[in-house]
Structure formats: C-alpha cells, structure tokens
A and B are shown apart, each in its own frame.
Chain A
Amino acid sequence: MALLQIAEPGMSTAPHQHRLAVGIDLGTTNSLVATVRHGIPEVLDDEDGHSLLPSVVRYLPDGYAHIGYKAQAAQTTDPKNTIISVKRFMGRGLKDIAYAENMPYSFIDAPGMVQLKTAAGIKSPVEVSAEILATLRQRAEDALGDDLVGAVITVPAYFDDAQRQATKDAAKLAGLNVLRLLNEPTAAAIAYGLDHGSEGVYAVYDLGGGTFDISILRLSKGVFEVLATGGDSALGGDDFDHRLFCWIIEQANLAPLTDEDTRLLMVKAREAKELLSSHAETHIDATLGSGEEVRLTISATEFANITQHLVAKTLTPCRKAVRDAGLSVDDIDGVVLVGGATRMPHARKAVADYFKTLPLANIDPDKVVALGAAVQANLLAGNRAAGDDWLLLDVIPLSLGIETMGGLVEKVIPRNSTIPCARAQEFTTFKDGQTALAVHVVQGERELVSDCRSLARFELRGIPPMAAGAARIRVTYQVDADGLLSVSAREMHSGVEASIEVKPSYGLGDDDIARMLQDSFSSADQDMQQRALREEQVEAERILIATQSALDQDADLLSLDERTAIDTLMSQVRSAAQGSDHGTIKDAVEALAKATEEFAARRMDRSVRSVLAGRKLDEVA
C-alpha cells in the first residue's frame, strides 16, 4: 500500500528518546496507573506492592488528606470525611445522585456540581478526584524516575460532556498534561486487540464500580473503529452492594442506622458480593454501634435473585448499541469483559446468553483498562515508529442538541458520531428588531429540553435590528478528540460572533482551577511559583521540539522572511526558558505558537496532498 515512505507528521525528531507517559484508570472503586516499559505495558505498584489504589480520600481537620488504603481503613469510623465512589458525583448535581439519602456526607447543592463539606473544608468532586490522580502521578514519577510528558485518562464511554470536562479539570488540577481522555471500553479493546491481533467486530461489556458501558468496535488492519456505544453512567457494582445492603436491613429487621453502621454494612455487603462470585454461600457478620449483632447467611442463588433486575438493566443498552451499530447479535465475533463487577457469575451468564458466545476475560478485568490506556499514551507520546502504530476512531455517546421554541430539542450532532466532528445549523430571529439570541446547549436523546442535560447557556448579542426571520445565525458545534464540546454562534450578515467552551455551567472555569491550585499550595506559596515555572518550562521544551521537528521536515514551505521570524521567536522561547519568570516564558511560547499557525496549515495540506498522490499511484499500479 504505502508507496511513499514519508516521515509521520507530528512525530518527534528524537525517536530514540523514550518519553514517559502513563495511562490512568480513574475508577469508581479503584484507580490504577500503568505505563509501557521495554515495549510491554505494566501496572505500576505502590511501595507496598499494591497495584490498585482504592479511590478513597479522607479529609483531616488539619487540611491534609489520606488517599487509598489508609483512607479506606477509616471509612467506617469517619464516614463523613471519607469520600468513596466520588466518580459518581463528577459533573453531577445533587438531584442526579442516587441514594444520596443513604450517604453520610454533608452535600452542598452548588450550581452545576455538588460539593462536599469535610473536616478540611468544602471540596468539589473534582478536587477529590485530583487527590487520587496526584497520588498516582507521584507513584509513576517515583517508579519511572522523571517527570511525565503526559497521561491518558480513561472515562466511561457513556460519560456526558459535563462528566468528561470535570475529569479533565481534575487531571489538570493534579498537574497532569492530558494527552487524551479515552473511553474505558475502547482502552480495553486496545489491550485485547493488540494482545491477540484480533480482527472482526467485538463488544466490550464494561461493568465497573459505578458505571456501565457497552461498546461495539470493528478491529481491522490497525484501526479500532467504535461503531456504537451505550450504557448507564449510574449503574455499577455499587448498586449490587446497595441492593444487598437493603436485603441485610430487611432480613435483620434493622431500625434506621447511624452513618457509621450504614458504612459498615455497605462494606460487609461488598465483601459478601465478592465472595459469592466464587462461593456457593457466605456469612454476613457485623456488630453495630449499639452492640446489636447482625448474623446472616446468603447463597449465591439468593444474591443472583435479588440483583437479577440490575443485570437485566445492562442488556437494554446492549440491544440499543447493537442496533445503533447497524448489526445483529450474530455479527458480533467476540465479547470482552471489563470491570470487577463482571466477576459475578450471573452477569457473565447474562452476557453469554445475550451475545450467544463465551465472553473473554483472560486479561485481568481490573487492570485491562489501565493497560490499554498506557499503550495508547505510549503511542500519543510518540514512542512508536510510523507504520508500527494504529488508529483509533471513537464516537460521542449522547446526542448534542440546542433548545428551540417551545422547550424542544433540535439535535445538532447525533449520538455515535465519530469524533472529532462538527455540525452547523442555521437559526433566525422570531421578532422584528431582535438584537440578541439565547443559545441553550443540551445533551441527551429526549425531545424535551427538561428531559436532557443542560450543558451551557450563552447569548449572541449585538445582532443589527432586522425584520423577524431575516437574520441568519449559524450555530456551530465542535466536538474534539477528547469528546469535549465547544459551541460558537455567528450572525452571517453582520459577522457578530459569540462562542463558548462548554464549561461554566457544569465544569469549572479556569479561574476556579487557579483558585484550587492556589488553595492546595496556600501553605507554601513558593511551591506554587516553582510548579508554574516548571510547567511553563516543560511546555516551552515541548513546543521547541515540535517546531524543530516541523522545520526539519517541511522548512521549504516557508519563505526566507517567515523562516527568520520563526527562528527568532524560537530563540526567544529558549532564552525565556532559561530565566525564572513563568509569565515571560508563557508570552514567548504564545508568540511562537501564533507565528506557526500558517505553517501548520501548509504542512497539513502537504500531508493530505501526499495521501492523494499516493493513492493515484496505487491505482495505476
């Protein structure tokens, strides 16, 4: 096929220099970090040899936090300050959270996303997640002995824009350079696909601690193409625990519980659930705060009976995804199981029955997502040679729309569109002399705005007064490769424009992040300065390498003047990076970035032309 061997665009000039990149699975119950060393993906353990980091953060009155096992150990004694399953709160308002009444936290119903009142102050779910991510980042840097170039962070495929944005903000807060947000089932497919050299259509059934995803992918010739995805971002192993917890209360006839007892029985429920995956029956023994004893026995059959409806709930999205992919169950060549909750035999059986095939689970379902993410991070960091790579084509899980008259939703980008994608739609004014237009961005499949998730609102102002229906307002939705949306609106006659990155209503503004960063370093202002400087230096180094690489390949696309201008700006970046003022570095980097825009466009044109030229030669030959 490849007649012309051309250096891959965007690749480093120094391919032999391995860039440290990791994949992070930020899970509801456990989180992991993995990397590729000597060509093999591996999960990085902590100093005690644990590969899993429980996604638990305990806040202490002195402002510090314990993360992982140490926090988990305190969950029954200090439930109010020990945050578990924080992933379920990401990008969510209080009304979105199931069983909030059974949770020991003091929630604050902040606009957009809930917050938690802890001994260490008010915390956003983004901050809690950032603690987990920062711990994994530290683990990776200790293990690898240097700063990371970047990380791929996984998210449930069914996460909406608000949840994705919250995850990206958490990573930023943890000081990670996000190479990509990657869908969890897609990450698993990469791990399996590359491991087995598989070709064909695969379903990835991912039942995690708090989320369920189903993705249908086609694997062929180094391309992972997601055909459809579906799921439920509030259904996971936690719900099985909760059902068993309710069963315990019913069986033992317990009066309303204290927060400590609630957490204790939740822990017992989880332990029992895990044991029942490999035992025919198990005992639940607990001593409540009052001294009351709980002694119960449950069989695997009984557990399957009381949770069968939850398993059934996962099959509806499976049917929908198969249909959305334009396939029938018989077209699926294999099914991959991901997530600890897929260890439950009745879940496995349901999957096997529906897909009419024995599901694969030969890569540890707790680790497969992190391993796949590490492999992708290694690729994105530029550690693989051209030709020895693969292409990932993923989709958005939920339709993106706009509110129209009468509270109805007009879909702008349908679900399962391959990303990146963009779509523009034209609207007009409905009143004479109307000078402003409100744009309300929503996500979801339902027809009424009130049934969809509101992502952002903004106004296009300064439209020149015209007769009703005369204005032509083009609203453009752009979804990037992380699945994140930005929206712009433009009146076509006057050129009046407004745009928004979909953040403010559900995510955090850059100001919020700056404030949180400030807060986390309030005791040591010096650290904050140091960190900002270090980050700008890394960025300067990155852009210098990338620009030099571009020049090495395509300098002939520049006129002498243009080349001189870029060379000058590069040396300004270089000398600014020697100094200690992060503001100066930032300005120099921005000037260089601006000066290379046209160059970048021309380089891409050349690349596209070469693809076309290559094809013509192919056809002749």
Chain B
Amino acid sequence: MLMLAVAGINRTLAQITNPACSLDRLFFLERMENHFALFGMTPRFTIDAAVLDAAYRDLQARVHPDKFAAATDAEKRVAMQWATRANEAYQKLKSPLKRAAYLCELNGIDLAIESNTQMPPAFLMQQMAWRETLEEARDTKDLLALEGVEAELRAARAQQLSDIAALLDDAQYAQAGERVRQLMFIEKFGDEVGRAFEALEA
C-alpha cells in the first residue's frame, strides 16, 4: 500500500535536511501522497470516470519521462518518480474495488485481508455453491456452465459495488470494509474462473 510513497518520502526526508526547502513544499509533497489530491479530486467513492481520466492524462502530459527525453538525468529521474506515482494513483482510483479499499484505508479501517477471513454464513454458502459449479464445469469442460458462473459473478459484483458505494459515501467505513473484503473474495474466485476459461480454450 505504502509503496509508491517510497519515492516521495525519500525526497521529503532529503529536503528536511535541505534548508532551501520551504515548509510549504513539504506540505505540498505530503498532500500529493493522497491519490485523490494528486488528481485534484474530492476523496469519495462515486467519481466521474471521465474526470479521473482527464486529470490523469493532464498530469502524465506534464510528468511523463517522454517529455524529458532531452532533459538532464536529474529531471529524467524526477519525471520517472512522478509518472510512477501518477500511474499508481490512477490504477488505485480507476478500479472500483481498489478505490473502495483505499477509501477504507484512508479512514482508518484495517482490511486485514490476510488474517481476517471471517465471512457471513450466507456469503460462504454462496461461495461453496459457485465453487462446486466451477469444478464440475472444469471437469466436464462445460463452457456454457462456466459462462453461467461468470454471469452470476458479474451480477454479485455489481450488487456488492453498489452497496459499497452507498456505504462509503454515507461514511459508514467499517461496514463498507466488510463488504470490500467480500468483494475481494469474489474477485479472487473470478480469477479462478478466468483461468478455467483459459484452460478450456487452450
């Protein structure tokens, strides 16, 4: 999660020791570590994808290394760091799931994806049913059944997302966090379905 901050943080530390660096700039750099702020957007779940796309492109048009191919090595390096930062932020905000997880994180919710695997019983039952269908479809090479599972997944995903959207924009972060964890389960299962498709088509 923290990752891309790496470039930014290192620089911030370097600048603290540099008397020429104003407090104003330090605040600016810190503010830019927020993905939403980097694109001049308000941190909320419901966003206008076109606004995000445009903001990302405007920023990349400024910082992308291709704009600095003739510049000094120092400028090339800074450009790579900012472009990296822009890509990271864009990917996080573009994907509804990642955006939701990021908003939870910003609001102090620890999703504890690795340690916390508690799920409501109804959700688990649903998962088991899907898994059975998937295995059967895989064994019998039943493309139609596989497409059926995929369609159900798509519907479940859409439902989860619309619930999450409502919860997040209503500032109910803890509840949203629960649902985000469920959606992550669904996504992981979706990857397995994708691999099953690949195996069938190969």
Q: A150-B69, A223-B57, A420-B65 are in contact. Are A559 and B201 (CB under 8 A)?
A: no
Which residues of B, 145-200, contact A by the 8 Å Cβ criterion?
194, 197-198
Instruction: Report if B64 contacts A (CB, 8 A).
Output: yes
Query: Which one, B24-32, B102-110, B115-123, B129-137, is touching chain A?
Result: B24-32
Contact of A542 among B60, B70, B79 (CB under 8 A): B70
Task: Return the chain B residue nearest A543 by Cβ.
Answer: B72
Q: A316-B201, A609-B28, A615-B58 are in contact. Are A180 and B72 (CB under 8 A)?
A: no
Pair A481/B66 contact, Cβ less than 8 Å = yes
Pair B78/A10 contact, Cβ less than 8 Å = no
Which residues of B, 42-66, contact A by the 8 Å Cβ criterion?
54-55, 57-66
Q: How far is the CB of B26 from chain A (nearest CB, A)?
A: 11
Pair A422/B55 contact, Cβ less than 8 Å = no
Which residues of A, 568-621, contact B by the 8 Å Cβ criterion?
592-594, 596-605, 607-612, 614-616
Residues of B within 8 A of A423 (CB): 3-4
Residues of A within 8 A of B80 (CB): 420, 478, 480-481
Cα–Cα, bound, A476→B65 (Å): 20
Q: How far is the CB of B51 from chain A (nearest CB, A)?
A: 9
Residues of A within 8 A of B20 (CB): 559, 562, 598
Residues of B within 8 A of A325 (CB): none
Pair A422/B75 contact, Cβ less than 8 Å = no
Instruction: Report if A30 contacts B (CB, 8 A).
Output: no
Query: Which one, A35-43, A120-128, A379-387, is touching chain B?
Result: A379-387
Pair B6/A481 contact, Cβ less than 8 Å = no
Instruction: Report if A252 contacts B (CB, 8 A).
Output: no
Contact of A546 among B29, B71, B90, B198 (CB under 8 A): B71
Residues of A within 8 A of B2 (CB): 424
Pair B63/A323 contact, Cβ less than 8 Å = no
Total number of B residues with any Cβ neighbor in A under 8 Å:
52
Residues of B within 8 A of A223 (CB): 57
Cα–Cα, bound, A601→B7 (Å): 12
Instruction: Report if A179 contacts B (CB, 8 A).
Output: yes
Specify which of B65, B66, B90 lies most central, judged by the most chain A CB atoms within 10 Å of its CB: B66
Contact of B62 among A542, A594, A611 (CB under 8 A): A611
Pair A608/B88 contact, Cβ less than 8 Å = no
Instruction: Report if B97 contacts A (CB, 8 A).
Output: no
Instruction: Report if A550 contacts B (CB, 8 A).
Output: yes
Q: How far is the CB of B164 from chain A (nearest CB, A)?
A: 19
Cα–Cα, bound, A562→B18 (Å): 12
Cα–Cα, bound, A476→B72 (Å): 24
Which residues of A, 329-361, contact B by the 8 Å Cβ criterion?
none
Q: How far is the CB of B199 from chain A (nearest CB, A)?
A: 11
Which residues of B, 69-96, contact A by the 8 Å Cβ criterion?
69-75, 77-80, 82-84, 87-88, 90-91
Cα–Cα, bound, A411→B55 (Å): 29
Pair B75/A603 contact, Cβ less than 8 Å = yes
Q: How far is the CB of B17 from chain A (nearest CB, A)?
A: 11
Cα–Cα, bound, A615→B56 (Å): 11
Residues of B within 8 A of A11 (CB): 67, 70
Residues of A within 8 A of B66 (CB): 180, 379-380, 391-392, 481
Pair A608/B74 contact, Cβ less than 8 Å = no
Instruction: Report if A8 contacts B (CB, 8 A).
Output: yes
Instruction: Report if A31 contacts B (CB, 8 A).
Output: no
Residues of B within 8 A of A542 (CB): 70
Instruction: Report if A66 contacts B (CB, 8 A).
Output: no
Q: A421-B87, A422-B88, A550-B75 are in contact. Are A180 and B3 (CB under 8 A)?
A: no
Residues of B within 8 A of A319 (CB): 198, 201
Q: How far is the CB of B110 from chain A (nearest CB, A)?
A: 16
Residues of B within 8 A of A538 (CB): none
Instruction: Report if A12 contacts B (CB, 8 A).
Output: yes
Pair A614/B11 contact, Cβ less than 8 Å = no
Residues of A within 8 A of B60 (CB): 391, 393
Instruction: Report if A9 contacts B (CB, 8 A).
Output: yes
Instruction: Report if A172 contacts B (CB, 8 A).
Output: no
Instruction: Report if A183 contacts B (CB, 8 A).
Output: no
Q: A379-B66, A481-B80, A600-B75 are in contact. Are A421 and B6 (CB under 8 A)?
A: no
Pair B201/A598 contact, Cβ less than 8 Å = no
Pair B40/A600 contact, Cβ less than 8 Å = no
Cα–Cα, bound, A545→B75 (Å): 13
Q: How far is the CB of A55 from chain B (nearest CB, A)?
A: 26
Instruction: Report if B202 contacts A (CB, 8 A).
Output: yes
Pair A604/B78 contact, Cβ less than 8 Å = yes
Pair B72/A550 contact, Cβ less than 8 Å = yes
Cα–Cα, bound, A101→B171 (Å): 66
Instruction: Report if A81 contacts B (CB, 8 A).
Output: no
Instruction: Report if A154 contacts B (CB, 8 A).
Output: no
Residues of B within 8 A of A180 (CB): 66, 69
Q: How far is the CB of B35 from chain A (nearest CB, A)?
A: 13
Pair A604/B67 contact, Cβ less than 8 Å = no
Residues of B within 8 A of A382 (CB): 69-70
Residues of B within 8 A of A596 (CB): 72, 74-75
Specify which of A316, A382, A422 lies most central, judged by the most chain B CB atoms within 10 Å of its CB: A422
Pair B25/A597 contact, Cβ less than 8 Å = no
Pair B67/A9 contact, Cβ less than 8 Å = yes
Pair B71/A10 contact, Cβ less than 8 Å = yes
Q: How far is the CB of A309 from chain B (nearest CB, A)?
A: 13
Residues of B within 8 A of A165 (CB): none
**A471-497 interface bits toward B, Cβ cutoff 8 Å, 1 = contact, 0 = none:** 000101010110000000000000000
Residues of B within 8 A of A150 (CB): 69
Q: How far is the CB of A142 from chain B (nearest CB, A)?
A: 24
Contact of A608 among B6, B73, B82, B84 (CB under 8 A): B82
Pair A422/B68 contact, Cβ less than 8 Å = no
Cα–Cα, bound, A393→B60 (Å): 9
Cα–Cα, bound, A608→B67 (Å): 14
Residues of A within 8 A of B61 (CB): 391
Contact of A381 among B57, B59, B63, B69 (CB under 8 A): B69
Q: How far is the CB of A513 from chain B (nearest CB, A)?
A: 18
Cα–Cα, bound, A481→B60 (Å): 12
Which residues of chain A have a CB within 8 Å of any CB of chain B?
Answer: 1, 8-12, 19, 149-150, 179-180, 221, 223, 316, 319-320, 323, 379-382, 391-393, 417-425, 474, 476, 478, 480-481, 542-543, 545-547, 550, 559, 562, 592-594, 596-605, 607-612, 614-616
Given A423-B4, A615-B55, 4 more A-B residue pairs with CB atoms under 8 Å apart are A323-B197, A420-B83, A422-B6, A543-B72
List 13 A-B residue pairs with CB atoms under 8 Å apart, sorted by A's residue number.
A8-B67, A9-B67, A417-B87, A418-B87, A418-B90, A424-B2, A547-B72, A596-B74, A598-B18, A600-B78, A601-B11, A604-B82, A607-B63
Which residues of chain B have a CB within 8 Å of any CB of chain A?
Answer: 2-4, 6-7, 11, 15, 18, 20-21, 25, 28-29, 32, 40, 54-55, 57-75, 77-80, 82-84, 87-88, 90-91, 194, 197-198, 201-202
Q: Which 6 A-B pairs have the closest CB atoms?
A: A380-B69, A424-B3, A600-B74, A10-B68, A481-B65, A10-B71
